[in-house]
Amino acid sequence: MQIKVSPIGIIRRYIEGQDIELEEGLTPEQLIDLLHIPQKFKMVAYVNGKRRGLREELNDGDEVKLATLLGGG
């Protein structure tokens, strides 16, 4: 399957926006591992404009935006 990946914010330091060919049934969590984004970041995925769980399967043609959760105090 083919998906489009777009980084948001600090994630741009680690990956560029790109189209990627992946095996069927991959999740955003697995995608993050494949892209070698450091696990120190608390990540969130937006798939086709909607926030999705990191363990939900992706589909052919999805656009995935990856961002970090922000904390404050």
Establish if 55 belongs to a structural domain: yes
Is residue 60 one of the residues assigned to a domain?
A: yes
Helix/strand/coil for 15: coil
Cα torsion angle, 64, 70, 30, 12, sign: positive
Count of domains observed in the chain: 1
pLDDT in tens, 19-70: 999 999 999 999 999 999 988 888 999 999 999 999 999 999 999 999 998 6
Instruction: Specify the CATH number for the domain of residue 9.
Output: 3.10.20.30
Q: Is residue 58 part of a domain?
A: yes
User: In 1-73, which ranges are E strands?
Assistant: 2-7, 18-21, 43-47, 50-52, 63-68
Residue 27: inside a domain, yes or no? yes
The pLDDT, as a whole number, for residue 69 is 82
Residue 23 lies in a domain: yes
Instruction: Identify the pLDDT of residue 8.
Output: 94
Q: Indicate whether 73 belongs to any domain.
A: no
Position 4: which residue type?
A: K
Domain with 27 in it: 2-68
Residue 59 has a pLDDT of 97
DSSP 3-state of 9: helix
pLDDT bucket at 15, cuts 50 / 70 / 90: very high
What's the confidence (pLDDT) of residue 41?
86
